[in-house]
Chain A
């Protein structure tokens, strides 16, 4: 008999600390499955962000490093440069990657660092209590946009993936979503591609994952999935960007 479904070796059997309906757990699992399928667990180094996924290393069963808020790509750059045979990825939220860490993101991408970036876009700051993120939609209510994000003074949702497209050092950009089983399968395929690119030495690869935060969207898990499909994807269309 062939075993077709099991607990990934790279994912520890621990209780989750994420809220019900949160996307982080799904993304962690997809990464673990990909690491297992590529047989790279013993040479993988994950760089965890500061954000809700700050303890991602408590879930993954491979070497990991912490990084100060926004600095994951600086930490990862150095790791990959001093240990070029390892497979290094960062896992970052939208505040981490596209606000406080924008400089590190753009420059690691522009240097063409041979890294894999998993970018979790949930349109809010989860860890600190649901404040506005650079990716927050216009009109979206958050702890710091009580009347909804206004363009005047708060600007537009930042499309960092589209911005990175113009950099020659960037080899692969894809936006995926976790709002349905079909989309989750596509997300996994994109993550796998981003890891394969690194294994083949192709350069900077980033997968942006649209991920639900029911807690700070003020929705049920089911409503959040619908909101992604009906609202968020209009601002952040899925598919290959580069």
Chain B
């Protein structure tokens, strides 16, 4: 673990790993895949020094199920991978959701479908925000857009996962994972809330046995569990929406972007504001729960606004924006696929046509 209160130059992948260690991550299992390899290497080099357990698993299937086991023992557990590996983990993530165990899963997205390529992409948005595996479940999804945020979203991810006993996904991408920025280490205290759950396995002296499971065969039991999950999800939708807004008060065109795309949009917004153009940025930080409250406020505001969603996908977050706007304003879209990224000129051209 790096000593706190200093600036350290690191990649987004390393920042996630360091953030996890400082958040009290006690278990990591992963399987190599580009572009997340710096993360697994950082964990291999540093997790044990902080008393955690590192395992290079034989596959992503093994890794996510190892996370299930460690989490069932009340230990903060995480895994990381990139798109194809995250697809393999879906069954395990569904089990974790069903058994109501906390866990953190990092997806450093790359181009797909299939083996695709190793360039940055945002095409796993649906998979992350809609559950991804089988059954009616959700994961909390956080989307950092700077290396500093990669570091800072980890304690938040672990805290939310622990509090709500469910998977939390960090949706990063190949660009954010590989880029280097100075990171300010925050504090001397452990960064996440304390975690000593009563349901954990191990040493059953003085209590009745605990069982970690997602299997409910008796008629009606599984529906009850599902209703409980849905109730939990409603609470999260009400309480945990996070976003960042920029120049929203008087913006005529609101740009909507997350992660790597949002950092590019942010600098474009500054530039256009310098030219007196009324553009703003709404950057969802939680992709699930989607920050609908922020959109509602904008849609109900006096300014007639237009929205432009920019993604490195065929338009996945676009659907969430359309759902909340529900026809009240125009929603445009600009996207590039398969590892491509919209250029500054393209973006500015699209904005100008809306102003």
Contact indicator A61/B209 (Cβ below 8 Å): yes
In the assembled complex, the Cα of A110 lies from the Cα of B231 at a distance in Å of: 43
By a CB distance below 8 angstroms, the chain B residues around A67 are 65, 68-69
Contacts A75-B72, A78-B77 given; indicate if A63 touches B59 (C-beta within 8 A): no
Contact indicator A65/B209 (Cβ below 8 Å): no
Nearest A-chain residue to B99, judged by Cβ: A66
Contacts A76-B69, A86-B202 given; indicate if A55 touches B215 (C-beta within 8 A): yes
In the assembled complex, the Cα of A172 lies from the Cα of B59 at a distance in Å of: 25
Contacts A71-B61, A103-B58 given; indicate if A63 touches B204 (C-beta within 8 A): yes
In the assembled complex, the Cα of A93 lies from the Cα of B325 at a distance in Å of: 52
Interchain CB contact (< 8 A) of A75 among B27, B66, B205, B210: B66
Interchain CB contact (< 8 A) of B217 among A42, A48, A55: A55
Nearest B-chain residue to A63, judged by Cβ: B201
Q: Does A217 contact B (CB under 8 A)?
A: no
Contacts A75-B66, A79-B73, A81-B70 given; indicate if A62 touches B202 (C-beta within 8 A): no
Contact indicator A77/B26 (Cβ below 8 Å): no
Interface footprint category on A: 20 to 34
Q: Does B273 contact A (CB under 8 A)?
A: no
Q: Does B67 contact A (CB under 8 A)?
A: yes
Interchain CB contact (< 8 A) of A71 among B27, B62, B70, B72: B62
By a CB distance below 8 angstroms, the chain B residues around A219 are none
Q: Mark A49-83, 1 if CB is under 8 A from B, else 0.
A: 00000110100111111111001001111110111
Q: Does B323 contact A (CB under 8 A)?
A: no
Contact indicator B202/A78 (Cβ below 8 Å): no
In the assembled complex, the Cα of A66 lies from the Cα of B99 at a distance in Å of: 9
Q: Does B41 contact A (CB under 8 A)?
A: no
Q: Which of A20-63 contact B (CB under 8 A)?
A: 41-43, 45, 47-48, 54-55, 57, 60-63
Interchain CB contact (< 8 A) of B70 among A43, A63, A78: A78
Q: Does A107 contact B (CB under 8 A)?
A: yes
Nearest A-chain residue to B63, judged by Cβ: A74
Contact indicator B27/A78 (Cβ below 8 Å): yes
Nearest B-chain residue to A75, judged by Cβ: B69
Contact indicator B203/A82 (Cβ below 8 Å): no
In the assembled complex, the Cα of A104 lies from the Cα of B65 at a distance in Å of: 10
Contacts A45-B202, A83-B202 given; indicate if A65 touches B212 (C-beta within 8 A): yes
In the assembled complex, the Cα of A42 lies from the Cα of B211 at a distance in Å of: 13
In the assembled complex, the Cα of A134 lies from the Cα of B67 at a distance in Å of: 28
Interchain CB contact (< 8 A) of A65 among B59, B63, B211: B211
Contacts A62-B209, A75-B69 given; indicate if A107 touches B27 (C-beta within 8 A): no
A residues at B contact (CB < 8 Å) = 41-43, 45, 47-48, 54-55, 57, 60-68, 71, 74-79, 81-83, 85-86, 103-104, 106-107
21 residue pairs bridging A and B, Cβ less than 8 Å apart: A57-B211, A63-B209, A63-B211, A64-B201, A64-B211, A64-B213, A66-B95, A66-B99, A66-B212, A66-B213, A68-B92, A71-B62, A75-B72, A78-B55, A79-B69, A82-B26, A82-B53, A83-B201, A103-B59, A107-B57, A107-B58
Q: For the A-B complex with A57-B209, A66-B99 known, give 13 more contacts whose Cβ atoms are closer than 8 Å.
A: A61-B209, A75-B69, A78-B53, A78-B67, A78-B69, A78-B73, A79-B70, A79-B72, A82-B70, A82-B77, A103-B58, A103-B59, A104-B58
B residues at A contact (CB < 8 Å) = 26-27, 29, 53, 55, 57-59, 61-63, 65-70, 72-73, 75, 77, 91-92, 95, 99, 201-205, 209-215, 217
